[in-house]
Every structure is written in C-alpha cells, then in structure tokens.
Amino acid sequence: MQETLKAFRIQSRVIGALLLREVITRYGRHNIGFMWLFAEPMLFTLGVTALWSLAGMHHNSPLPIVAFAVTGYSSVLLWRNMPGKLVCAIEPNLSLMYHRQVKIIDIFLSRLALEAVGATVSFIVLSALWVSLGLMKLPEDVLKVLFGWFMLAWFGASLAIFLGALSGRSELVDKLWHPASYILFPLSGAAYMVDWLPKAAQEAVLYLPMVHGVEILRDGYFGAVVKTHYDVTYMAAWCLGLTVLGLAQVRVVSRMVTPE
C-alpha cells in the first residue's frame, strides 16, 4: 500500500512535469501562449459552424444549426485528436526515457490530459458564448451531456493508447490512421442524427462506437426534440476492450524501447 502510494506520487509528479513541458514546446511563450490549447479547437468549431450554416444543413431538421454544429464538431475533436497526438508520440520523447521514472504511459497520459482539457474548455466556452448571444439554448439534461462527453473521451483515450503503443512497433499505424480518421469523420455522427438515416443505414452506423457517444450527448442537449439511438453497454464494451488491449500493448512496447 505504502509502495503503491509512493509510485502514485512519482507518477503524478512526472505527468505534471510532462504536461508543463508539452504546453511550452507546443504553444511556446509568444502571443497568447498556452491559450492556444483552447483557441485552436475553438477556431475549428467556429469554422465548421459557419460552413454548416452556409451549406444549409439544418434544412433536414428542426434542430438549431449552431447547437448541432457545436455538439457535433466538439465531439469529433475530442475523440479524434487523442489518437492523432499519441500515434508516433514515443520517438520524439525517447531522450526523456533516460530518466527511469518517465514511462511511455506517462507521456501518453500527459498528452491525453492536454487534449481532453483543450477540447472540454473549448466546448464549454463556445457553448457559453452562443448561449449568451442567444444563438443556442442551455442543455436539457446537463448530466447526460457530461456522460456522453465522458464516454467519447474514454473512447478517444483508449483508442489513442492502443494505436499509440502499436505505432511504437510499426510505422504502418501512422500511415493508416490518417486516412482512417478522415473516413471516420463523416460516419462518426457529428454531421447527422442516426434517426435521419434509413433503417439499414442506422444499423450499420451503430456498429461504430463513437456514434453512440454523440447520440448520448445530443440526447442530453436537445432532450425530447430529437429521437436518439444508442446503446451505452455496446459503447462501454468497446472502450473497455480497447483500454485492456491498449495497456497490454504499452507493456509490450515499454520492454522494447531503447532510449537514444
């Protein structure tokens, strides 16, 4: 117990130090510095909201376009950026592993924490902004929104750890992830509601775990205005499976790395 507590303290220390380091290397000290962590996803979401409004996507549904775009694109940023940041995260940090307390999982967790915080703050700030301007209403069920957000974060993090560890063994992962993430974007539920699709298509897209997360989020946000389709157990099973596989792969790769 004492040992575990000590290990936990060391690990939190290392992750904290890696976080600060990552923030400075990624955003620097110039202009708004670490605020880019939130500004970057906010700009993305703003751009997509503008495009979707102009494209008239809302003709399909009585849903307010701004709330639809913000919930959709924020969730994509949440689950898709995590794997993006962990694929090939090992190699540039090999020199840090000269210090025995710095492990691959620490590098992964610090990057995941940054992505999660960035996406979450941008989601909250953007929503607050639109609500205060009267372009968006407050969510119907905040707890359900939080739950959907948590599930998407869990999915993103577990997929990221799995792919991040695999990318330490083969470059193929990096090459395949980029096309895969582009193809998954339109399928992920960000730009449609499952209910709009024909029955056969509904069944097909519901095989994708992130679709369930986006549906939970929108169920919480819009309440009874929309009809949503999701299965929490199905999505949780995916996340749990990916978490176990991912952690196992991290163990394998940890034994294989050679610090430079």
Partner 1 sequence: MIEIHNLSKLYPLAGGYRTVLDNLNFTISPGEKIGILGRNGAGKSTLIRILSGAEQPTSGSVKRSMSLSWPLAFGGAFQGSLTGLDNLKFICRIYGMPYQDKIAYVQEFTELGKYLREPVKTYSSGMRARLAFAISMAIEFDCFLIDEIISVGDARFHAKCQHELFEKRAERSFIIVSHEAHNIREHCTKACVLHQGKLHEFSDVDTAYTWYQGVTA
Residue 27 Cβ vs partner 1, minimum distance, rounded to whole Å: 10
Q: Which is nearer to partner 1, 10 or 128 (CB)?
A: 10
* Nearest-approach distance from CB 164 to partner 1, in angstroms: 19
Cβ 105 to partner 1, closest distance in Å? 14
Cβ distance to partner 1 smaller for residue 76 or 90: 90
* Distance of alpha carbon 86 from alpha carbon 159, whole angstroms: 10
Closer of 36 and 221 to partner 1 (Cβ)? 36
Evaluate whether 40 touches 46 at the Cβ level (below 8 Å).
no
Q: CB of 82: closest distance to partner 1 in angstroms?
A: 22
Q: Which is nearer to partner 1, 4 or 132 (CB)?
A: 4
Residue 257 burial by CB count (10 A; 0-12/13-18/19+): exposed, middle or buried? Answer: middle
Minimum Å distance from CB 254 to partner 1?
7
Nearer to partner 1 (CB atom), residue 14 or residue 226? 14
- Phi then psi dihedrals of residue 206, to 5 deg: -75, -5
Chain contacts with partner 1 (rule: CB under 8 A): 9-10, 13-14, 16-17, 20-21, 24-25, 28, 95, 97-102, 254-255, 257-260
